[in-house]
Amino acid sequence: MFAKGMDNALLRFGLGKGYLDAGDPARATEHLQRCVEFDPRYSAAWKLLGKAWLAAGDTAQARRAWEEGIQAAIGHGDKQAEKEMTVFLKKLDRNAE
């Protein structure tokens, strides 16, 4: 689909998840970043983007993604994603101590 010029948030989310699952967080961040550009309210994408940044070793970007993701989740009424990303941020804070 991507090669045929079809580009959307769902496709980018799938590609990002696939690359993250395959152990390529750098490629995952590219696709997930594009995903949230398509749909800034896509809280699951923000959550996965933070995980990809963390796997890539960039805790500052992971934090930024989860902070933005929490705001998206609040705005979208996605309580579960909000809770999960809040936990991820608390773990980052504990690990930074």
Domains, the chain, in order of start with CATH, read 9-96 (1.25.40.10)
Residue 9: pLDDT band with limits 50, 70, 90: very high
Res. 96: pLDDT tops 90: no
Span 77-95, mean pLDDT? 94
| Residue 1, pLDDT score | 62
CA–CA distances in Å: residue 18 to residues 5, 48, 59, 65: 19, 11, 21, 19
Report the distance separating Cα 72 and Cα 75, nearest Å: 5
In whole angstroms, give the CA distance from residue 29 to residue 87. Answer: 20
pLDDT of residue 3: 64
Q: What value does the mean pLDDT take over residues 28-32?
A: 97
Q: For residues 85 and 69, is the Cβ–Cβ distance under 8 A?
A: yes
Instruction: Say what the pTM is.
Output: 0.92
- Residues 71 and 64: beta-carbon distance below 8 Å: no
